[in-house]
Structure 1
Amino acid sequence: MTEKISIFDVEISCIKAKEAMMQAIGFMKGDSVNTIELVSMESLMKEHENPEWKKKVSMQDLVLPGSVEILEAAKTDDARLLRETDDKLFLRMFLKYLQKNHHKIYLLAASQEELVKAEEALARYNQGIRVVGDAVIHPEDGELTDADRIHGIVNAVNGSEADCILSVLPSPVQEDFIEQNRALIDTRVWIGCGSVLMRSFDDRKMTSRIKRMLVKKVFRYKVEKQN
């Protein structure tokens, strides 16, 4: 049985990168889209009182911790799991798998700036990644409720014959998008990364590291208070 932890009533699978990869490869061989979410500490903090967001996360086929702080707050003592999560090993392995097997990626982001950052992060992870299309969804402009706009993005994704959609949209936008359009999307895998994809590079900045330390303290306090 897969061990899970519950943070703010969000169930997250605590499995090694190899086991997660086996599931992901199985998804890539399926006939319909399967969904993977790397839940970030920031998303949990931001949406922990949002029952609709929690429900949509629970509908994903595989929910994994996107940052080691989540496991630490849950007092997980598996050193290997902590190390793999901190190293983003599953994400690295999955991107390598996509590159090695010539699978195509379609990117979704909340701004052109975030799209550029995501493309740069992908190149750092693996320069052979095939990005065949991208789209920007501006959540502050209410574009997720613009049926024509979203229909056009879904058509563009399907027309690109992408094998995987990689989302760096913020929560709850990325969960809303896949919940609304899952039946219409013709890809094998949706992976919602939120800020996880770019975070390892942003954390090199001193200001980002200090901010994250403060967020971590608040996060651990809230988790302990919940428990």
Structure 2
Amino acid sequence: MSNTTTGWSDHDLIAARRTEFLGAPMHMLTMVETLSLATEAMIEKKPIHHTVINVAKLVNMRSNAELRQDVSEADLINVDGAGVVWGARLLGIRVPERVAGVDIMENLFRICAERGFKPFLLGAETHVLEAVQRRLGREYPGLVVAGARDGYFKPEEQESVVAAINASGADCLFVAMPTPRKERFLHRYRNALKPSFVMGVGGSFDVYGGKVSRAPKLVRAAGLEWLYRVVQEPHRLWRRYYDTNRAYARLLWSAYWSRDARN
């Protein structure tokens, strides 16, 4: 199977673009290339397990062996987070662009509507899921949503959730649960899930459904989307971002000066 955007096979493209930054694996792919890979996966019924790397996940992977395994063994790992883009470039890694999970999801909704693919929506609260489906109905009247289930299910219910996803005939699966829960779920059931393209989307349903607003484009371009989120939910997020950003700055500083010392 060839990728029409690059002329390479999907396997070769993914393998050739994989690298590591501060011990975290990631793929040097653009949004166009990523969407092409996802589309081909659904056309050819070839499974791809997708995830992303951001500052918080990169830091937490260093102390959470399960999370590191879950991320490292995914088929496709995009760079989601301006901090990772800038840090990698500082160390000489040519990241082409930030490829945010929420943007992948929104683009794939459009592709599903255009090509007749059916998404399954898993995660978030029931009222958020309903808001997501209402917006999809307005923007893509012809889109068929294979199924939807909130993210508040018990561990013993996981297999029945997987069975429902598989019975729905979904072509792709979006999992809107927090890290590391979504990574653990997708890693555990990746071989059992029938949708061809599966990805974790974190809080993207909250954004798409209007529960929280996304930062304006200028704020995103400045790499301050994390700060915008903290302002919206300070009590829940400030400590998490403070701890992970501080740890990341130390890692990056150490790696930068170690590189200079070697040179």
What's the TM-score, normalizing by structure 2? 0.67
Structure 1 residues 120 and 187, CA, compared in 2 at 3 Å: closer, same or farther?
same
Distance 1:71 1:104 in 2: 32
Give the CA deviation at 1:134: 1.4
Partner of 2:121: 107
Give the partner amino acid of 1:225.
Answer: R
Deviations 1:7-52 (A, max 9, x none): 4x22121211112122212221334532111334444455541011
Q: Residue by residue, what CA displacement relative to the aligned partner does 1:144-166 show, whole Å, maximum 9, x if unpaired? A: 2x1xx222111211111111111
Label 1:98 to 1:49 Cα distance change in 2 as closer, same or farther (>3 A).
same
Judged with a 3 Å threshold, the aligned counterparts in structure 2 of structure 1 residues 22 and 223 are, in CA distance, closer, same or farther, namely: same
Bigger RCO (CA 8 Å, 6+ sep): 1
Q: What does residue 160 of structure 1 align with?
A: 168
- The structure having more radius of gyration, on CA atoms, is 2
Question: What residue in structure 1 maps to residue 42 of structure 2?
Answer: 28
Write out aligned runs for 1:121-132 (5 A). Answer: 126-128=139-141, 129-132=143-146
- Which of 51, 54, 68 is 2:65 aligned to? 51
Residues 1:69 and 2:80 are matched in the alignment? no
- CA 137–92 in structure 1, closer or farther in 2 if over 3 Å, else same: closer
Shift of 1:70: 2.5
**Identity in percent:** 16
1:192 paired with 2:217, answer no
Structure 1, 169-178 or 36-45: larger mean CA deviation: 36-45
Give me the whole-angstrom Cα distance separating, in 1, the residues matched to 2:200 and 2:76. Answer: 10
Equivalent residues of 1:56, 1:175 under 8 A apart: yes
Matched length:
217
Distance 1:137 1:87, change over 3 A: closer
Q: Tell me if 1:81 matches 2:81.
A: no
Matched residue type, 1:224: A
For structure 2, list consecutive stretches of 5 or more residues without a partner in the other structure. 1-15, 217-226, 256-263
Residue 208 (structure 1) aligns with: 229
Q: Cα RMSD (Å) of the superposition?
A: 3.4
**Structure 1 unmatched runs, 5+:** none
- The aligned residue for residue 93 of structure 1 is 107
Q: Is the 8 A contact 1:203 1:209 kept in 2?
A: no
Task: Compare 180-189 and 115-124 and name the one that shifted more.
Answer: 115-124
Q: Quick one: distance in 2 between partners of 1:192 and 1:98?
A: 17
Alignment CA distance shift 1:31-1:112 (3 Å)? same
